[in-house]
Structure 1
Amino acid sequence: MDAPPAGTAPLPGGLPRRVHLGYALGSLATGAFGTVPGLLLLPYLTDTLGVAAGLAALLVLLPKAWDVLVNPVAGRVSDRTRSRWGPRRPYLLLGGLALALLFAAIFAAPFGTGGAAGAYVAVAFLATATAFAFFQVPYVAMPAELTEDYAERTRLMSWRIAVLALAILVSGAVAPIVVTAGGEGLPGHRWMGLFVAALIALGAVGAFVGTRAAPTGAVRESEPTLRAQLAVAGRNRPFRALLICFVVQSAGVATILAGVNYFADQILRDPDTGATLLFACFVGPALLVMPVWTRVGARVGKLRGLVAASLLLAAGAAALAVAPLLPAAAVYPVVALVGAGYAGQQVFALAMLPDCITWDEARTGRRQAGVFTGVWTAGETLGLALGPGIYGLVLQMAGYVSSDTGTAAAQSDTARLGILLGFTVIPAVLVAVPLLTLRHYTLPPTPRTTSTGGDHAVVVGDESR
């Protein structure tokens, strides 16, 4: 990609709706990959391949933890890319299609069940996580280059999170149905892998095509080495505070996702439709409350909006601890509250990220969106990997019994208690406690910033460049 850059400058104000939608379509890919492995991979290993819960937790954790190293590299590569499509868009297409093919390979099961099958899944998942890094990092870096308007970024993120919620709903709710329709066990998971791969490919191609008329953001001067760029990201105090909070919260959300099948099967006693209903109640309200969170952010600011949404998410998760005492009909509305909090938590955190990036550019005069988002997505990926790892460890400690039949084995009361706590109390703590780090989230004024009168000063950009 050695053609001269042909990017246009970021827009100072609003973006066309077709760009909003085009950019948001990429969340079909990020949502599907962020949801389905966290939802189905751990049960696939424990209840279809017969892998012990503790070992299965490691097989899920380690490949995605690899992205902690790969994501910053992907960010630096995209920062330095020059092409007629700009520095980011080539990776939407190439990285996205590679991601789709490799995802289908995870569930291909060429070795049947047992230890060799588990090792194959780990290797395939590692390759898929690498492809995901080269799609996700450039994708997340784009908002800082699409617009310099503070409020417009919130609108852009609202579109993205709306599609993300839809992707989570479709992939998370339909994937278990595809497994069942495909015959359960290995055949059902193969069909599910193909279904999700098609969804990922649709999102990647849609984002690439949909952003063809958007500002591409020409490459600007950056730090000369990756180590120097990471040091710059580490010195950005508001970015550091936001990142720590988001990573730990991502682990909490991923722990909930990892427990959906187990919770539906062992707590709700509804292995056939419980997981699908849980997802519908989790994601459906998120689509409805998205405009509400946008108005909340305009009124009280993104920081306070993030705190409010996170507390709603944590309170709902904690309340689910009494689920064994309630009828299922009373559990699902509580799950809807969790979903509403999750929607706001995602909107505000992702809208605050480009503010940190642009503030750093205004302060240093260097554009390094790729490195910041590389570090961000590495942290997010680590959090999403820790969730199933935490849940698998809880299952192992509680004495969960694995199976290679495609159907969960009967479990003891202790194992069922572990399933419940891993789905409720532990995620609630992981979402609520890191809010303390946001005490350090401020964006001090620079010569190219202005105050909104909200929680902090925010960057509006230098329109002369």
Structure 2
Amino acid sequence: MSSSIPEPRSADKPALPPVRRVAAGTTLAYGFGAVAYGVKDNGFGTFLLLFYNQVVGLPSAQVGFIVMCALLVDAVIDPVIGVASDRTRGRWGRRHPWMYAAALPIAIGWIALWNPPALSSGWTLAWLFGAAVVVRTAVSAYEVPSQALTPELTADYDERTRITAYRYLFGWTGGLLMLLAAYQLFLVPEAGQTNGLLNRSGYQGYALAGAAVMVVAILVSALGTHREIARLPQPQIAPGGLGTAFRELVGALRNRPFLILMSAALFAFANQGISFALSNYLYSFVWRFETATFAWLAAVLFAGVVLAFVGAPALARRIGKPRAAASMIALAGVLQATPFALRLADLFPTPDDPAMIPILFAIYTLNSAVSVGTAILGASMMADVVEHSEVRTGRRSEGVFFAGAFFVQKCTSGIGIFVSGLILAAAGFPEGAKPGEVDAATIDWLTILFGGTYLILSLAAAWLFLRFPFGADEHRERVARLAATG
């Protein structure tokens, strides 16, 4: 089939979604499902390396390598799920069968991840690998079809940013509330402990609570968007089996705007992963946070998420999504590196100075806002790639594109934990360390390696976002063209 001739449209189902504002109930249900990924991502990014390194007692580099290896499985599974979702047909549509089916496996895998049995180091690493694969595969089975709803619910350029902002608001809210619960309810010091993050029994309660929250979020979102199934695009499937599906996948992956977004997102999400994985090391060993400080930390990060929810769509309307995303990710790199650079120059308040926490939290608020804002705009731009590809191939491949985007998003934990393990090893950071007892030179190298890596990756992502080839006018013209030929 010629790439310039669209495939026939289905007679009873639209192949192009309407240019509309999505109803409030659907928007809230769609966004609420991201709570599941927020809980998973926060756990993988913030606690997994610390748990298996400092609590279980495995070398950080080995833990990072195993999690990275598990990511290689995702490289195969995610696009397969994306293609399968695009080609699924039934009375529940293309996306919802996958969304419903993912809930129970996610819960089982999540509980297993935080409860490794008493095994040798080698078998414990194998347990980590297996549990990580189960969790991330199940999350893919939900999140890829769920994210593919973005371009299906509406074809409006700015509305896609708005509903995506809700998704990130709920995702970050769920993750931060789980973070707060971890710090204040589950990972609290027991008798003889000074740091609750090393409380192994606390991770059992954390795992059970997280599993329950993820199941509820998935089911509420699937049920809340179920009524939209009849309105969603149901384009005809090209005849053929696995070979045809593979050719569709390869064709979609050749899309230039998609490849630019994938590359930019890889740098941006890897940065987020490094920041998450090293956050507790930086909080505990560089800034010497006390237990009470962590409660305020969650509120500070949430304030940044709210700023992103309001500010990212507004900035995108003003200067366009690509420029807005580039500006925010570049600013994120500068904000993250600044306190560490000032600390090395003896220009930043020390942990015993009352001014340190307010200044640091102000920086964290802004950094959270621009980081989350970048992610919102990146996801919204990915939705716009769907029509760009459809004009050229005659196919709607929402599942394929969002499978690729979600794979890169999962690099947050995979590449982030791997690079973080290398940073800790390069800095000579010891296992079983206690705050205040780590050599000053080790702490300095940790901050240099972290701050420098974050800044470089941020600037690389900004450069790529600026090369995204189209904006609002081109998208609207494309949608009008598809509607006219539909």
* Matching of residues 279-290 of structure 1 within 5 Å: 279-290=298-309
Q: 2:252 aligns with which of 212, 219, 233?
A: 233
Residue 131 (str. 1) matches residue 138 (str. 2) = yes
> In the alignment, what sits opposite 1:398?
427
Identity of aligned residues (%): 23
Residue 104 (structure 2) pairs with residue 97 (structure 1): yes
* Residue 276 (structure 1) shift: 4.4
For 1:195, the equivalent position in structure 2 comes to 209
Instruction: Provide the rounded CA distance (Å) in 2 between the counterparts of 1:168 and 1:276.
Output: 14
- The corresponding residue for 2:313 is 294
Contact 2:14 2:233 in 1 (8 A): yes
Deviates more, 1:434-443 or 1:255-264: 434-443
CA separation in 2, counterparts of 1:408 and 1:123? 32
Supply the AA of the counterpart residue of 1:436. Answer: W
Consecutive unaligned residues of structure 2, counting only runs of 5 or more, are: 1-9, 191-195, 350-355
Report the Cα offset of residue 110 of structure 1: 2.2
Give ranges in structure 1 of 5+ residues lacking alignment: 444-450
Alignment of 1:218-367 (within 5 A): 218-222=234-238, 225-322=244-341, 324=343, 325-326=348-349, 327-367=356-396
Across the aligned residues of Structure 1 and Structure 2, the Cα RMSD in angstroms comes to: 2.6
2:270, 2:412 within 8 Å by CA — same for their partners in 1? yes
How far 1:133 sits from its partner (Å)? 1.5
In 2, Cα distance between the equivalents of 1:223 and 1:312?
48
Query: Displacement of 1:267 after TM fit?
Result: 0.8
Residue of structure 1 in register with 2:453 after alignment:
426
CA deviations 1:9-66 (Å, max 9, x no partner) are 6233111011110100111011111221110000001110111111121122221332
1:435 paired with 2:451, answer: no
Change (3 A) 1:365 1:254: same
Report the counterpart of residue 64 of structure 2 in structure 1: 57
On the 8 A contact 2:316/2:324 being kept in 1, the answer is yes
Alignment match, 2:3: none
| Compared CA separation, residues 409 and 341, structure 1 to 2 (3 A) | same
Separation in 1, partners of 2:438, 2:79: 42
Seen in structure 2, the aligned counterparts of structure 1 residues 372 and 453 have a Cα distance that, compared at 3 Å, is closer
TM-score, structure 2 as length reference? 0.86
Larger Rg belongs to: 2
Assess if the C-alpha contact under 8 Å between 2:95 and 2:145 holds in 1.
Answer: yes
Shift of 1:265: 0.6
2:6 corresponds to: none
- Mean CA deviation greater in 160-169 or 345-354: 160-169
Rounded to whole Å, the distance in 2 between the matches of 1:255 and 1:375 is 20
How many residues get paired? 453
One of 18, 30, 36 as aligned partner of 1:23: 30
Residues 192-234 of structure 1: per-residue CA shift (max 9 Å, x gap): 1111112211210111011012233314335953431232123
Shift of 1:67: 0.8
**Cα deviation code 1:180-199 (max 9, x no counterpart):** 24855321111111111122
Q: Does the 8 A contact of 1:267 with 1:323 survive in 2?
A: no
TM-score under structure 1 normalisation?
Answer: 0.90
Q: What amino acid maps onto 2:464 in structure 1?
A: T
The match for 2:233 among 217, 240, 245 is 217
AA aligned to 2:459 is A
Quote the Cα distance in structure 1 between the aligned partners of 2:77 and 2:237: 22
Distance 1:125 1:48 in 2: 17
- Does residue 416 (structure 1) correspond to residue 416 (structure 2)? The answer is no
Find the partner of 1:142 among 149, 170, 177: 149
1:35 is aligned to 42
Any idea what SS the aligned residue of 1:440 has? coil
* Corresponding position of 2:352: none
Deviation at 1:312, TM superposition (A): 2.0
